Amino acid sequence: MFKDRCDAGHRLGKKLLRYKDRHPLVLALPRGGVPIAYEVARILDSPFDVLLVRKIGVSRDPECVVGAIVDGSPPQLVGIGRAGARPGGDSDELRRETERQLGEIERRRRLYLGDRPHAQVKGRVVIVVDDGINTGATMRAAIRGLRRQSPARIVLAVPVAGSDALEDLSGEVDDMVCLISSPQIEALSHYYEDFHQIHDNQVADLLRQAEQGHGSAQGRHAITSSRGLQPERRLRLEKAELFQAQKT
């Protein structure tokens, strides 16, 4: 059990200290992976960025995912099946959904980074971080898109993951660090005392703080807690969490 994402990131960073001398680039999958990656980057004294990934579905079934867009120069369309084949399906529907997800990636890039470019990946050790892995589909897409940018080494680092997903991903990466693995992950929230939703403004704040130099622990927790939100955003979040609690 982790207290929150900051606690998980601190523990994960300690397990990655062997990479500190290699000056890795730490990449987070937004939004939940960002506070964790921030702590990892702070401990390793490494640069920190986001890796934007959007899954693509081309049917009315929300569980039918055929591929993903991974941000880069240019963005990559990748398959998420084990074979890694290019997504198939109706070409017009695929094109429309791809354009829609590219628009969302562009929106997030502008919001998170402003005019700043993404960090360069080629030839570097890259540590990819999320707050946990259930099926592994999004992480698989992220790693495959990242691999096309020619990093020297890809390290997968997560606090918690399903053991089957880790086994499936083991062939995609050069190393992996996972603090807790379990045969069955029903909900990542079960492994955190505080697992509230991370919002876009909090992601942007952490990226700015990392660029300016890592701040105090108090400042980091203020950003990543629900108390760090503006009052109207905090109210919406508290209502959403109450509604979710009532459903479960």
Which pLDDT belongs to residue 238? 40
Closest CA to 101 of 54, 145, 64, 67: 54
The answer to whether position 78 is within a domain reads no
SS3 state of residue 151:
coil
The strand order across the sheet containing 53-57 reads 53-57, 65-70, 76-78
* Predicted pLDDT at 188: 94
Q: Which two tokens stand for residue 83?
A: 């074979």
Helix (H, G, I), strand (E, B) or coil at 145: helix
Tell me the per-residue pLDDT of 122-179, one tens digit each, with 9 for 90 and over. Answer: 999 999 999 999 989 999 999 999 999 999 999 999 999 999 999 999 999 999 999 9
49 burial (CB, 10 Å; 0-12 / 13-18 / 19+) is: buried
Q: pLDDT-derived band of residue 248, with 50, 70 and 90 as boundaries?
A: very low
- The answer to whether residue 230 scores a pLDDT higher than 70 is no
Give domain status of residue 82, yes or no.
Answer: no
Does residue 240 have a pLDDT over 90? no
Residue 20 clears pLDDT 50, i.e. is over it? yes
The tokens for 173 are 């990466």
Residue 110 lies in a domain: no
The tokens of 118 are what?
A: 């993404």
Q: Is residue 72 part of a domain?
A: no
Asked whether residue 109 is assigned to any structural domain, the reply reads no
Q: Residue 134 sits in which domain range?
A: 5-52+115-247
Which domain CATH number covers 124?
Answer: 3.40.50.2020
CA pseudo-torsion sign 133, 214, 71, 155: negative
**Mean pLDDT across 12-37:** 97
- Terminal C-alpha separation, the chain: 20
Residue 180, in any domain of the structure: yes
Write out pLDDT tens, residues 75-112: 989 987 755 555 555 578 888 999 999 999 999 999 99
168 occurs within a structural domain: yes
Q: How does pLDDT run across 193-224, given as a tens digit for each residue? A: 999 999 999 999 999 999 887 554 544 554 55
Q: Decide if 22 is inside a domain.
A: yes
What are 5's two structure tokens? 């994402």
Q: Taking 50 as the threshold, does the pLDDT of residue 5 lie above it? A: yes
**pLDDT value at residue 233:** 44
Q: What is the count of structural domains for the chain?
A: 1
pLDDT at 86: 54
Residue written as token pair 């601190």: 10
Give the residue-averaged pLDDT of 58-64: 65
